[in-house]
């Protein structure tokens, strides 16, 4: 991740428009498999779904080691999209159901924060050396990535499936439609939790693909890219680890308000400052990413029935991916035409208008829930 945009630009020859288009197609591949893979995971088992994901990861990154054109990178991205689809929902569902089996589901947010934090810590450790690996041999990070997914397969094969067995529905299509209606129409708390997750997901996802050319335009030395990316992931890890305690201390209202302020400040700084040190405002967005994940996932998990847990979590990811497919290429075109710095400023204005009403809908439903409990 620390050098992938540079690889696409310098080794494959892609423009920012093509890069965002590539990520849009990557998202489409996830859209195609996102909900079906989550639903399938609920039926065949989370462990099996994660094994499939690891095998696809090996194949996808293996193609990258020989790719030299947009079409070959596209094939690799589609396979990796399928891989991540099988992970999406399955990992968090397995964690929640494992805790539930031991009567410890009330600790889910803490464990989700640890899971996210350790994942980001792993990415940070890789990013520290990414620039050096890329400088010595552009394909070396991709060869190592294949080995990482081989290790992932060995790990997923050693996992223990939660003991609860679910009865197969009479009609899989009817069951899938029923869970979709439940998540997006019948359960308003879950609906607006998903909506806020999607919007906040976009606020942290656009910069992932724009920050490297932003730093390049600002004159940041390429040798810094790995350590900068590592620091970004460490900030996500740290704030994911403290998300549970921060949520308990601040409560939902102040936690959401803090997240909105951090998002707007981050984008405003990226859009106005620029230069060698402008990228520091990106860390505000990575801190927000760490804070919001465990909190919103915890709210969603409490509203989801066990029979469709992975499926509905995948449905949430599906909504995010569709949103990115519809907006990502447009953002890339804007960046190509007016520059990345000005694009961050436009995004600041957009999120400043969208986030407050979405946050109000989310908090309003939580308040109604609280009044029902009393």
345: burial class by Cβ within 10 Å (0-12, 13-18, 19+)? Answer: middle
| CATH, residue 104 | 1.20.1250.20
pLDDT at 163: 67
Q: pTM, whole model, 2 decimals?
A: 0.71
pLDDT in tens, 228-255: 888 888 888 888 888 888 888 888 899 9
CA distances for 1 relative to 34, 96, 126, 283, 306, angstroms: 22, 28, 9, 16, 33
What pLDDT was estimated at residue 171? 56
Helical ranges in the chain per DSSP H: 4-6, 16-44, 46-64, 70-87, 90-101, 108-136, 140-157, 172-181, 188-217, 225-241, 243-272, 282-303, 309-338, 340-373
Total structural domains in the chain? Answer: 1
Let me know if residue 335 belongs to a domain. yes
Closest to 285 (Cα-Cα) out of 209, 336, 358: 209
Tokens of 204: 């942290």
Residue 357 CB neighbour total at 10 angstroms: 9
Cβ neighbours for 184, distance < 8 A, ≥ 6 positions apart: 191, 194, 315
* Residue 23 placed within a domain: yes
Q: Looking at residue 6, what is its pLDDT?
A: 81
By C-alpha distance, which of 144, 173, 154, 135 is closest to 39?
Answer: 173
User: Which residue stretches of the chain have pLDDT < 70?
Assistant: 163-173, 175-176, 368-374
**344 in a domain, yes or no?**
yes
Rounded Cα gap, residues 67 and 44, in angstroms: 33
Q: Of 11, 16, 9, give the one whose Cα is nearest residue 139.
A: 11
Q: Is residue 169 part of a domain?
A: no
Please give the Cα distance from 370 to 283 (Å, whole number).
34
Q: Which residue reads 């994901």 in tokens?
A: 53
Query: 246 near 291, Cβ under 8 Å?
Result: yes
Question: Is 164 part of any domain?
Answer: no
Full residue range of the structural domain in which residue 254 is found? 4-158+181-373
Whether 170 maps to a domain, the answer reads no
- The answer to whether residue 348 is domain-embedded is yes
Rounded CA separation 120/103 (Å): 28
Convert the pLDDT of each residue in 7-56 to its tens digit.
Answer: 888 888 888 778 878 877 877 777 777 777 777 777 788 888 899 999 99
**Position 171 in a domain:** no
What's the Cα-to-Cα distance from 154 to each of 44, 143, 150, 238, 254, rounded to whole Å? 19, 18, 7, 27, 42
């Amino acid at each position: 991740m620390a050098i992938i945009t540079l690889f696409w630009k310098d080794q494959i020859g892609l423009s920012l428009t093509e890069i965002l288009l590539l990520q849009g197609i990557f998202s489409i591949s996830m859209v195609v498999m996102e909900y079906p893979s989550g639903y399938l995971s609920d039926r065949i088992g989370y462990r099996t779904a994660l094994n499939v994901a690891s095998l696809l990861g090996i194949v996808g990154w293996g193609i990258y080691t020989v790719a030299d054109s947009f079409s070959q990178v596209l094939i690799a991205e589609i396979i990796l999209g399928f891989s991540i689809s099988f992970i999406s929902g399955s990992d968090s569902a397995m964690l929640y159901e494992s805790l539930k089996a031991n009567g410890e589901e009330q600790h889910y947010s803490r464990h989700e924060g640890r899971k996210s934090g350790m994942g980001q810590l792993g990415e940070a450790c890789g990013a520290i050396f990414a620039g050096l690996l890329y400088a010595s041999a552009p394909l070396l990070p991709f060869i190592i990535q294949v080995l990482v997914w081989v290790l992932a397969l060995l790990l997923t094969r050693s996992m223990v499936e939660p003991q609860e067995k679910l009865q197969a529905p009479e009609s899989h299509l009817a069951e899938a439609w029923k869970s979709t209606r439940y998540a997006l129409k019948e359960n308003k708390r879950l609906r607006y939790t998903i909506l806020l997750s999607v919007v906040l997901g976009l606020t942290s996802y656009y910069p992932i693909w724009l920050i490297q050319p932003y730093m390049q335009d600002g004159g940041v030395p390429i040798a810094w890219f790995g350590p900068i990316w590592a620091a970004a992931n460490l900030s996500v890890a740290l704030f994911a680890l403290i998300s549970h305690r921060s949520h308990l201390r601040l409560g939902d209202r102040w936690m959401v308000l803090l997240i909105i302020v951090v998002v707007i400040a981050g984008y405003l700084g990226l859009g106005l400052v620029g230069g060698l040190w402008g990228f520091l405002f990106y860390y505000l967005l990575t801190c927000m990413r760490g804070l919001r994940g465990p909190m919103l996932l915890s709210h969603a998990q409490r509203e989801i029935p066990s029979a469709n847990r992975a499926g509905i979590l995948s449905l949430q990811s599906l909504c995010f991916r569709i949103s990115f497919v519809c907006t990502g290429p447009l953002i890339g075109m804007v960046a190509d035409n007016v520059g990345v710095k000005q694009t961050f400023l436009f995004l600041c204005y957009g999120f400043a208008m969208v986030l407050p009403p979405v946050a109000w809908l989310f908090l309003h439903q939580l308040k109604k829930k609280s009044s029902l409990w009393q």
